Amino acid sequence: MRLQHATWQEVEAYLQHKRGVIVPIGSTEQHGPTGLLGTDAICPEVIAWELGKRHEVLVAPTQNLGMAQHHLAFPGTISLRPTTLIAVLRDTIESLAGHGFRHILFLNGHGGNIATLSAAFAEVYAERSMRRGGEPAAPLHLSTHNWFAGPRVRKLAESLYGDAEGTHATASEIALSWYAHPESIKQAELTPRVAPRGSAGCDADEFRRRFPDGRMGSDPALASIEQGQQLFEAGVMDCWEAYRAFIDTV
């Protein structure tokens, strides 16, 4: 069930017997000459929507903007500062917790969001921990699942691409985004075929110097729609497993 396509009464009814929700979170950032700027949002979104259909879990609207400062030297990238993203996540979590949601899983498509998600969870918890006293707050469980790091996805990406999977504009995320949006497949020559490796811990000018076409260690020319479908199935299964383990947390 997509929250955006539900009425408030449907959410109220859902809350009678379930307390979990999935929030897809991505980024809007360059993904090399053939990757879509929306790749990191598209991938978790398509998986989350499928979970919503298959398993009747509620899926909140996608957070399309993430922490992408290092990609800002490439046109089209839009980034939030970490402190801005923390505020967005805090307000999102407080809104959902106010309705009675107790398990909020962020289904993440961007490595650059991981630290800020974790800091945001701590910011929410810190508010509770510093104002202790009175009756204890209702339990609140917050977690991140990176779709690209699930065991089935990892294994499949390894078998399909080996080292050419890379770490940004990866072959597997390109494949999944093509499966989700076959009308938007792009062709471009990739030189070199496998992009240079290195660290993304730097500012935008330095990042572009290190990674001239935006890719990090990947050869997305290996990707295909069929592989995208396989990755989609693997991703749905990984994420469902992660979600089920998560909502059993007490």
**5 scored as a contact of its own copies (CB under 8 A):** yes
**153 scored as a contact of its own copies (CB under 8 A):** no
Beta bridge partners of 168: 216
**12 scored as a contact of its own copies (CB under 8 A):** yes
**60 scored as a contact of its own copies (CB under 8 A):** yes
**167 scored as a contact of its own copies (CB under 8 A):** no
Instruction: Give the CA count within 13 Å in the CB-facing half-sphere of 59.
Output: 24
Four-point Cα dihedral 58, 64, 66, 72, nearest 10: 170
User: By the 8 A CB rule, do 23 and 157 touch?
Assistant: no
Identify which range of 153-161, 180-188, 218-226, 229-237 contacts its own copies by CB under 8 A. Answer: 180-188
Instruction: Give the CA count within 13 Å in the CB-facing half-sphere of 167.
Output: 11
Candidate list 53, 54, 56, 61; residue touching its own copies; CB under 8 A: 61
Identify which range of 116-124, 154-162, 221-229, 237-245 contacts its own copies by CB under 8 A. Answer: 116-124
Enumerate the H helices of 106-192 as residue ranges: 114-130, 151-161, 171-180
Q: How far is the CB of 100 from its own copies (least distance, A)?
A: 8
Query: What whole-number distance in Å separates Cα of residue 60 and Cα of residue 101?
Result: 12
Candidate list 53, 54, 56, 76; residue touching its own copies; CB under 8 A: 76
Task: Give the containing element (helix H, strand E) for 59.
Answer: strand 58-59
- Residue closer to its own copies by CB (options 39, 234) is 39
Candidate list 49, 106, 121, 148; residue touching its own copies; CB under 8 A: 121
**56 scored as a contact of its own copies (CB under 8 A):** no
Q: Which residue has the tokens 């497949």?
A: 185
Residues in the chain: 250
Q: Which residue has the tokens 């009756």?
A: 135
**245 scored as a contact of its own copies (CB under 8 A):** no
**55 scored as a contact of its own copies (CB under 8 A):** no
Query: What whole-number distance in Å separates Cα of residue 30 and Cα of residue 118?
Result: 24
**107 scored as a contact of its own copies (CB under 8 A):** no
- Residue closer to its own copies by CB (options 38, 235) is 38
**181 scored as a contact of its own copies (CB under 8 A):** yes
Site for its own copies in 31-50 (CB under 8 A): 31-38, 41-42
**201 scored as a contact of its own copies (CB under 8 A):** yes
Query: What whole-number distance in Å separates Cα of residue 52 and Cα of residue 61?
Result: 12
**72 scored as a contact of its own copies (CB under 8 A):** yes
Sign (positive or negative) of CA dihedral 141, 118, 2, 225: negative
Query: What whole-number distance in Å separates Cα of residue 38 and Cα of residue 218?
Result: 18
Q: How far is the CB of 159 from its own copies (least distance, A)?
A: 27
- Residue closer to its own copies by CB (options 158, 203) is 203
User: By the 8 A CB rule, do 232 and 46 touch?
Assistant: yes
**92 scored as a contact of its own copies (CB under 8 A):** yes
